[in-house]
Amino acid sequence: MQMRDEMLRAACFASLDVLCAQFGDDVPYKDGLDRGFPHGGARVPFLSPQKGIFRAAAQTGPAALSINTSSKSPYGDAEVDDGYLYAYRAGSVDQPDNRALRQAFALQVPLVYFVATRPGWYRPLYPSYIAADDPVAQRVLVSPGQLVGPLDERDPEPLENPIERRYAVRETRVRLHQAVFRGRVLRAYSNTCTICRLKEDRLLDAAHIAGDLEAHGEPIVPNGLALCSIHHRAYDQQLVGVSPDYEVHVSKRLLEEEDGPMLELLKGFHAQPIVLPKRAAWKPDRERLAERFERFVAST
Ligand SMILES: [Zn+2]
What is the pLDDT confidence band of residue 76, given thresholds at 50, 70 and 90?
Answer: low
Q: How far apart are CA 265 and CA 263, in angstroms?
A: 5
The answer to which of 7-16, 196-205, 251-260 has the lowest mean pLDDT is 251-260
Does residue 222 contact residue 285 with C-beta atoms inside 8 Å?
yes
Tens of pLDDT, residue by residue over 165-176, are 999 999 988 888
Question: What pLDDT, on a 0 to 100 scale, did the predictor assign at position 126?
Answer: 96
* Region 173-193 average pLDDT: 92
Question: What pLDDT, on a 0 to 100 scale, did the predictor assign at position 44?
Answer: 98
Question: What pLDDT, on a 0 to 100 scale, did the predictor assign at position 37?
Answer: 98
Angle at CA of residue 268, ends 264 and 274, nearest 5°: 140
Question: What pLDDT, on a 0 to 100 scale, did the predictor assign at position 264?
Answer: 78
The rounded Å distance from CA 234 to ligand 1 centre is 9
The rounded Å distance from CA 29 to ligand 1 centre is 27
The rounded Å distance from CA 194 to ligand 1 centre is 7
The rounded Å distance from CA 289 to ligand 1 centre is 18
Question: What pLDDT, on a 0 to 100 scale, did the predictor assign at position 253?
Answer: 84
Question: What pLDDT, on a 0 to 100 scale, did the predictor assign at position 55?
Answer: 98
DSSP for the chain, please give it.
-GGGTHHHHHHHHHHHHHHHHHH-SSEETTTTGGG-EEETTEEE-S--TTSSEE--TT--SSS-SEEEE-TTSTTTSPEETTEEEEEPPSS-TTSHHHHHHHHHHHHT--EEEEEEEETTEEEEEEEEEEEEEETTTTEEEEEEEEEESSTTS-EEEE---HHHHHHHHHHHHHHHHHHHHHHHHHHHTTT--TTT----GGGEEEEESS-TTSTT--SSGGGEEEEEHHHHHHHHTTSEEE-TTSBEEE-HHHHH----HHHHHHHTTTTPBPP--SSGGGSPPHHHHHHHHHHHHHH-
pLDDT at 197 over 90: yes
The rounded Å distance from CA 123 to ligand 1 centre is 25
Q: pLDDT > 70: what percent of the chain?
A: 97
2-183 is a CATH 3.40.1350 domain? no
Query: In terms of pLDDT, which residue wins out, 242 or 265?
Result: 242
Dihedral sign from CA coordinates of 104, 108, 114, 115: positive
The rounded Å distance from CA 112 to ligand 1 centre is 35
pLDDT at 260 over 90: no
Question: What pLDDT, on a 0 to 100 scale, did the predictor assign at position 92?
Answer: 92
pLDDT at 206 over 70: yes
* Region 90-111 average pLDDT: 96
Question: What pLDDT, on a 0 to 100 scale, did the predictor assign at position 57?
Answer: 96
pLDDT at 205 over 70: yes
The rounded Å distance from CA 32 to ligand 1 centre is 27
The residue type at 173? R
- Mean pLDDT for all residues in the chain: 92
pLDDT at 71 over 80: no
Question: What pLDDT, on a 0 to 100 scale, did the predictor assign at position 150?
Answer: 79
Question: What pLDDT, on a 0 to 100 scale, did the predictor assign at position 212?
Answer: 81
The rounded Å distance from CA 72 to ligand 1 centre is 29
Domain boundaries defined on the chain = 2-183, 189-299
The rounded Å distance from CA 193 to ligand 1 centre is 5
Query: In terms of pLDDT, which residue wins out, 72 or 29?
Result: 29
Angle at CA of residue 194, ends 192 and 196, nearest 5°: 85
pLDDT at 282 over 70: yes
Tens of pLDDT, residue by residue over 125-147, are 999 999 999 999 999 999 999 98
Tens of pLDDT, residue by residue over 38-58, are 999 999 999 998 889 999 999
* Region 231-259 average pLDDT: 92
What is the pLDDT confidence band of residue 73, given thresholds at 50, 70 and 90?
Answer: low
The rounded Å distance from CA 298 to ligand 1 centre is 23
Q: How far apart are CA 115 and CA 69, in angstroms?
A: 5
Q: How far apart are CA 82 and CA 161, in angstroms?
A: 11
Question: What pLDDT, on a 0 to 100 scale, did the predictor assign at position 213?
Answer: 83
Protein residues with C-beta less than 5 angstroms from the ion ligand 1: 193, 195-196, 198, 228, 231
Q: How far apart are CA 290 and CA 80, in angstroms?
A: 36
End-to-end CA distance of the chain: 65
Q: How far apart are CA 91 and CA 73, in angstroms?
A: 20
Q: How far apart are CA 67 and CA 82, in angstroms?
A: 17
